Amino acid sequence: MLGPNGAGKTTSISLMLGLRQPTAGQVRLFGLPPTDRRARSRCGVMLQESGTTSVLTVREIVDVFRVYYPAPLPAERAILMAGLTEQAAVRIGTLSGGQRQRLYFALAICGDPDILFLDEPTVGMDVEARRAFVTSIQTLAAAGKTIVFTSHYLREAEELARRIIVIDRGTVIADASPQELKSRVPGKKITLVAGRPFTGKDLEGLPARVISATGERASLLSNEPAAVLRELFRRGVDVVDLEVTGADLEEAFLALTRRAEAATP
């Protein structure tokens, strides 16, 4: 699930988990109310704000959480998937912020849940930890698990998601695969590096929408990339590096949320 801050992503997950009650309609998880123990025993959860005791070790807290589930994973397996094998005997209070995020992921998966809810799971993780997280998610998905996650890292969503729901101000404005969402954005993305910093006049009046322009680098979106380049050359812009690609998920997301904002009276 993607959406701007305050769009309703965390609220949606809270409703699906039974942490909040809907003001209208109903929520069902495995055909049951989300507060039903039979439904909860099949869920794993990693919320934005988590916390646990600091006096137990990583292995001890994973063992505590495992007993809540009918058929949990071996503790060593959950710890390995979270990338915490070397910290298994370390007290939680001494873990770094990124290691704590990995611990919360271990607690979310230790029950071998059928559905996993992850709310901004990689916030605070370093590059190596995020890469390990992506691998673990792909492994769980290949095993047939349903994974619902929110993220502000659009590259992460593009890499992992088979289905993306975009929410804006509590309303679903798109529900499709990443490929379908990207296909809704016309034109090509042009990324340029010039031999000197761009000026405002360099990019004015082009048959393109300027996405960003900082110093010598600029990104534009256009249905006529050849015409854009011809005009830049005519204006004397010395292009030293050039890339023309299809729109990515970030452009699709921005286009969708802009249209939703423009349609709001």
| pLDDT tens profile 45-102 | 998 777 788 899 999 999 999 999 999 999 999 999 999 999 999 999 999 888 998 9
Res 34: pLDDT: 95
Q: How confident is the model at residue 195 (pLDDT cuts 50, 70, 90)?
A: very high
| CATH 3.40.50.300 segments of the chain | 41-161
**Dihedral of CA 238/241/245/248: which sign?**
negative
| CATH 3.30.70 segments of the chain | 186-246
Q: How many CB atoms lie within 10 A of CB 216?
A: 15
The CATH number that domain 186-246 falls under is 3.30.70
What six digits make up the tokens of 209? 């929408």
Res 132: pLDDT: 85
Which DSSP category does 87 fall into? G
Q: How confident is the model at residue 260 (pLDDT cuts 50, 70, 90)?
A: low
Q: Which amino acid is at 93?
A: G
Res 98: pLDDT: 86
pLDDT at 259 over 70: no
Question: CA triplet 230, 231, 234: central angle to 5 degrees?
Answer: 90
Question: CA triplet 123, 129, 130: central angle to 5 degrees?
Answer: 55
Give CA–CA dist 149/152, Å, rounded.
10
Q: Where are the alpha helices (DSSP H) in the chain?
A: 9-16, 37-40, 58-66, 75-81, 97-109, 127-142, 154-160, 178-183, 200-203, 225-234, 249-263
Q: Which CATH number fits domain 41-161: 3.40.1410.10, 3.30.930.10, 3.40.190.80, 3.40.50.300?
A: 3.40.50.300
Query: Once rounded to an integer, what is the mean pLDDT over residues 104-120?
Result: 94
**Residue 216 and residue 198 in contact, taking contact as beta carbons nearer than 8 Å:** yes
